[in-house]
Amino acid sequence: MKWRNHVDIASSVARELSLPPELRGVLKAGVLQPDREGDKVVRLDRNALPYRQRIRHHHPRRRFIMGLLWKARAAHLEGREEDAVWCLGRALHYVQDGSVAVGPFHIFHDRREEELGRRKAAPRAIHLGGEYALPSPMFVSMCLRSLTPKRRTRDSMFQACLLSSALSSAVLSPPWPSEALVAETRRAERRHRLVFLPLAVGAAITAATGLLLLGQPLLLPLAALLAAGIHRSDLAYHHYLRERRWFVHAAPASRTI
C-alpha cells in the first residue's frame, strides 16, 4: 500500500477510537515505520546458524504480527500508551499490506498500488471493525487468520480498514476483564485443580509403576508424557488462561520501542 493509504487508514482508526492528537501522530509514525526502516527476525539457516531476515510485507507471518499486538497490549496495560500505539501501528502496516494481492512475480503489484493510492479509507469498514471488536486474544487471532490478500483494490481497502479498526479496538480496550471472564476462569481453574491434575498425577504414577514392574525403566518418560497430555487436554482451562492474559500486567518490562 502507498504511504498515503497507511496514513489515511491510521487517521480514520485514530478518529474512531478518539485518540488524543499526540497519539494520532505516534500511530501514523508507527504505521510507516516498516517501510522506513523495516523489521527483521532471526532465523536459522540449513546449518543451524542464525541470520536476520527482513519481514515480507505482502506475506507477513501471522505470528510476527501477533507478537507486535501482544507487545502493544502489554504496554497499554502498563499505561505506556505511546509504546502501545507505536507497536500497534507497526502491526497494522503488515495487516494493510497483507490485504493486497501482488500476483505471481509481482506482475500486478504496481498497477494495484497505483489504483489503491487513489482510494480513500472505507468509513463503514472502520466503523464496523470498532463496533464488533472484542477484547480477546482469540478474537485478535481470528482476525489475523481471516487476513487474505485481495485482488480487487476495493476489497483490499475494505479488509485493511475493517481489520485495522477491529485490532486497534481490541488492543486498546479497557485493561480490566469482564466479570463473566473472571468467573469462568475461576471455574476452569478449580475444575483443572480438582479433576485434571489428580488424573494426570494418578495416570503418571500408574504408568510408571507398570513400566517398572515390566522392567522397562527406560520408558519412564512415557509416564511424564501421559501426564502432560492429560494436563494439555483441558482445553477450556488453557483457553481461559490465555484470555485472562489479555488483562494481566506482565512484570515491568523494558520499553518496547
Helices 62-77, 153-171: axis angle to 10 degrees equals 40
Nearer to Zn ion, 119 or 244 (CB): 119
The smaller minimum CB distance to Zn ion, of residues 37 and 179, is found at 37
CA dihedral 28, 256, 34, 119 (to 10 degrees): -30
From the list 175, 161, 141, the residue with the least C-alpha distance to 65 is 141
The binding track of 23-62 with respect to Zn ion, each residue x by CB under 5 A or -, is ------------x---------------------x-----
The answer to whether residue 90 forms part of the interface with Zn ion (CB under 5 A) is no
Q: Does 6 bind Zn ion (CB under 5 A)?
A: no
- Residue 54: DSSP 8-state: E
Please identify which residue in 97, 113, 234, 243 interacts with Zn ion, judged by CB under 5 A. 97
Instruction: Write out the three cell numbers for 188.
Output: 476452569
Q: Minimal distance in Å, beta carbon 182 to Zn ion?
A: 40
DSSP secondary structure letter of residue 22: H
Asked whether position 113 contacts Zn ion by CB under 5 A, the answer is: no
Question: Distance between CA atoms of 59 and 106, rounded to whole angstroms?
Answer: 12
Question: Using the rule CB under 5 A, is 234 a contact of Zn ion?
Answer: no
Smallest separation (angstroms) from Zn ion to the CB of 97: 4
112 binds Zn ion (CB under 5 A): no
Closest of 145, 177, 169 to residue 241, by C-alpha? 177
Is 8 a binding residue for Zn ion by CB under 5 A? The answer is no
What is the rounded CA–CA span in Å between residue 75 and residue 85? 9
* Site size toward Zn ion, by CB under 5 A: 3
Nearer to Zn ion by C-beta: 36 or 255?
A: 36
- Name the residues that contact Zn ion, by CB under 5 A: 35, 57, 97
